[in-house]
Amino acid sequence: MSHIIKKSGLLIIGLIAGIMISLNFSAIAKKDPVEAVHPLPIEELRTFAQVFGRIKSDYVESVEDKKLITEAINGMLVGLDPHSSYLDKDEYKELQIGTQGEFGGLGIQVTMEDGVVKVISPIEDTPAFRAGIKTGDLIVKLDDKVVKGMTLNDAIKMMRGKPKTSIKITIVREGESDPLIFNLVRDIIKIQSVKSKMIEPGYAYIRITQFQEQTGENLAQAINTLFSQNKGDMKGLILDLRNDPGGLLNGAVAVSAAFLPENALVVYTEGRSVDAKMKLHASPEHYLRGSDVDFLKGLPQEAKTVPMITLVNGGSASASEIVAGALQDHKRSIVMGSQTFGKGSVQTILPLGNNTAIKLTTARYYTPNGQSIQAKGITPDIKDETDTGDEERLRESDLNRHLSNGKTDKKKSPASMDPAIQIEKAIQETSGETKEEKAKAKKNKKPLEFGSEDDQLLVQAMNYFKGIKTTPKKKSDKNEKTES
């Protein structure tokens, strides 16, 4: 038996070494000639082979080689940072579909920390959003299965499914003594990337819910419509990026370019490889993707000069932070709201063949003035006086293994939200129907509809435009509206 293990171990080392050598040559070709070539970690590969062999020979059940190798790849990527991951065939396909604005599921942007699925942001107009799922919620059970021990991909697969099928989600929420139970019905998620309206004559409102392939084109249509509807001079434009989890980089560049002077620097990136070092400007070659038609050409010139306010909160991440940072640095727009999420890293999709890929963090974003967004976010010029839960909201800096900013200290999550404590509590407290009924009564608060009459930050922005010095009304317990 030991002879077989030793032999299989040597074969595995040879296989892995061959793969690493080929990858090493590929990486070296992209790097500067002066960069040193690191030798293969033979001892670590030998240990890997020994573990692989022991599992194959001694584990209580037979395990396929494919499963073991796939899990090893998952482990390598998950151990790097919260946003690097391995994409199997289904996940790779879902990623490609998702950027087009239509996919199946519940409508939640999530990450994994300490074995718990954390909600980054619910997507507007989806089952999760309508049910009242909030940023920072900890998902501890899916149906009757405890999330602890699952991979993020496994948890996501459980949440996906055919439209009109249901799933029970158990959530632990800061400030709630008992876990909350949501019975959600899956649906086809169709995201309307750009929403717009005239608030009143002279004041326009544009909301971007997510950055997709058509976001720049949809924004151009919205701007043309709004300016044609307004019969007089446009006095102010509000760009709402709250709870926008990000999306495609070229979409962020396009949105920024709609309001900035031509060729203005929007964002730049810094990474180890040559390809990871980019400077993206407000020019067609940096926001057009697979099209020769410049959808921003012909926009009203007033769109680049009208007074602007950009609304952000802790759910504004990635591409939305790029836009807010660019408009702020160029002094094109006042940024109003709460500190943003702080996801300032670039994920590159690297196909591996067989319709699989890895999503790998390859660079950091920087605003035009050289500020790193990573684990810090965008600091608003004017704080949202109504956002009383800002300090407790989950952000990038709360995630384990988050990429450092290089200048800021790591922020620790409140002790009361320690995942291990919350998981045990949730498992113990969700065993009976009485607990479920009790939890339902606590989760009936509807999420705030951004852009509605109850949107106090929008009121604050309009007051700023009009020069009205008033203190925005605080949320009351009787008529509380909660940002999801």
Catalytic residues: 318, 329, 343
The answer to whether 282 and 266 have CB atoms below 8 angstroms apart is yes
Amino acid letter at 67? K
Q: Classify 245 as helix, strand or coil.
A: coil
What does the block give as tokens for 378?
Answer: 């965008």
Measured from the Cβ of residue 55, the count of other Cβ atoms closer than 10 Å reads 13
- Helix count and strand count (H, E) for the chain: 13, 19
> Could you identify the residue written with the tokens 């199946």?
104
Task: For residue 194, give the DSSP letter.
Answer: E
> Could you identify the residue written with the tokens 């620097």?
265
Task: For residue 448, give the DSSP letter.
Answer: P
Measured from the Cβ of residue 403, the count of other Cβ atoms closer than 10 Å reads 21
Report the alpha-carbon distance of residue 95 to residue 209 in Å, rounded.
Answer: 17
CB burial class (10 A; 0-12, 13-18, 19+) of residue 169? Answer: buried
Report the alpha-carbon distance of residue 429 to residue 431 in Å, rounded.
Answer: 6
Distances, alpha carbon 381 to alpha carbons 240, 461, 481, in Å: 15, 12, 24
In degrees, rounded to 5, the angle at the alpha carbon of residue 64 between the alpha carbons of residues 63 and 65 is 115
Distances, alpha carbon 3 to alpha carbons 10, 12, 109, in Å: 11, 14, 48
Report the alpha-carbon distance of residue 175 to residue 442 in Å, rounded.
Answer: 11
